[in-house]
Amino acid sequence: MTALAALLKRCTVIYAPAGNAGEYSELATNPYTGCGHECLYCYVPLAMHMKRDAFNAGAFKRRDFLARLQDDAERFRAAGVTAQIFLTFSSDPYHLDDTQATRWALEILRDHGLGFCTLTKGGLRALADIDLFRPEHDAFACTLTSLSDTFSRKWERRAALPAERIAALRAFHSRGIFTWVSLEPTLDVESSLAIIEATHPFVDLYKVGRANYLQEITRTTDWAAYTQRVIAKLQRLGKAHYIKRDLQTYLPTGYHNPLRVQQHHGPRAAA
Ligand code: SF4
Q: Which domains does the chain have, with CATH numbers?
A: 3-248 (3.20.20.70)
Test site for ligand 1: of 46, 51, 56, 121, most ligand atoms within 8 A of the Cβ: 121
* Closest atom of ligand 1 to CA, residue 41: 7
* Closest atom of ligand 1 to CA, residue 156: 6
145-149 average pLDDT score = 97
**pTM of whole model > 0.85?**
yes
Which band of pLDDT confidence, cut at 50, 70 and 90, is reported for residue 84? very high
81 Cβ partners below 8 Å, 6+ apart? 3, 4, 7, 114
Using the 8-state DSSP alphabet, how is residue 94 labeled? T
Q: Which residue from 73, 80, 60, 59 is spatially nearest to 27, judged by alpha carbons?
A: 73
Measured in whole angstroms, the distance separating CA 96 from the mean position of its chain's CA atoms is 17
d(CA 185, CA 218): 10
Give nearest CA residue, ligand 1 atom 6: 39
User: How far away, in angstroms, is 68 Cα from ligand 1 center?
Assistant: 24
d(CA 243, CA 183): 10
The pair phi, psi for residue 30, each rounded to 5°, is -125, 95
Position with higher pLDDT, 232 vs 213: 232
Residue 8 one-letter amino acid:
L
User: How far away, in angstroms, is 35 Cα from ligand 1 center?
Assistant: 6
User: How far away, in angstroms, is 39 Cα from ligand 1 center?
Assistant: 6
Beta bridge partners of residue 142, listed in sequence order: 120, 181
d(CA 265, CA 122): 23
Beta bridge partners of residue 20, listed in sequence order: none
Model pLDDT, residue 6: 95
Which band of pLDDT confidence, cut at 50, 70 and 90, is reported for residue 270? low
